Each structure stands twice: as C-alpha cells, then as structure tokens.
Amino acid sequence: MRFDFENVFRRLKGGGIDAALGNETVKTYYFTPSQFAEFFMPQFRVKKIYTLGLLTPPPFLIGIYKRFKLLVELFMLIDKQLMQIFPFNRIGDHFIIVFEKI
C-alpha cells in the first residue's frame, strides 16, 4: 500500500480532473452527496445516504483480501456499522442516495 496524496483530495477539485481510461483521458468530476442531490431538487428529497468502501479496500486489490483476510473482514464490519452515520456516510469512495419523490 502506498499513500498517493495527490489523489487523496481529488474530490475537492471543483473543475474536475483528467482521469486515464484505457488509452484515453476523460474529464472526471467527483461530486459530494450534497452536490449530487442538488441535481434532483426540488422534485425529490434525500431520505438516506450510505457510504460504500470507507475502510474496505476496493475489489481490484484482491491480493489484500487474500493476504489480510481477518483485517479486511474487520474493515467490512466497521464499514457496515458506519455506512449511514454522519459524517462517515459522506466521505467514502462511493455513496448510495435514497431519494423520496415530493
């Protein structure tokens, strides 16, 4: 594992970033849950926000799952407990928003 400080705060860059996708570069935007929800206002209201992968490594790092199985299982258990608790539900790599039609 390594710390890539340039990408740690990539979501805070308002103008998006250039992300490599195969041989191409694609302008990519990282919205916060609140920013994303604004696209659906005022027809919908946010009912719940869940985070995914707060501590659990991403699936493409399968080697970590094999080498550190108990640690990853602990991270998954912690993720499950924190996934809908503020502020943790706002800071994961991915999020799920449940909307309700107004």
pLDDT tens track for 45-85: 999 999 998 999 888 888 999 999 999 999 999 999 999 99
Residue carrying structure tokens 């080697």: 63
Q: Does residue 10 belong to any structural domain of this protein? A: no
Q: What's the one-letter identity of residue 68?
A: F
Q: Does residue 3 belong to any structural domain of this protein? A: no
Strand ranges, E, within 1-93:
17-21, 24-28, 44-52
Q: Does residue 74 belong to any structural domain of this protein? A: yes
pLDDT at 37: 96
pLDDT at 93: 77
Question: Residues 93-99: what's their mean pLDDT?
Answer: 93
Q: Does residue 78 belong to any structural domain of this protein? A: yes
Task: List beta partners, residue 46.
Answer: 99
Number of domains in the chain: 1
pLDDT at 67: 94
Residue 3 has pLDDT above 80, yes or no: no
Task: Give the residue numbers spanning the domain of 91.
Answer: 33-101
**pTM assigned to the model:** 0.75
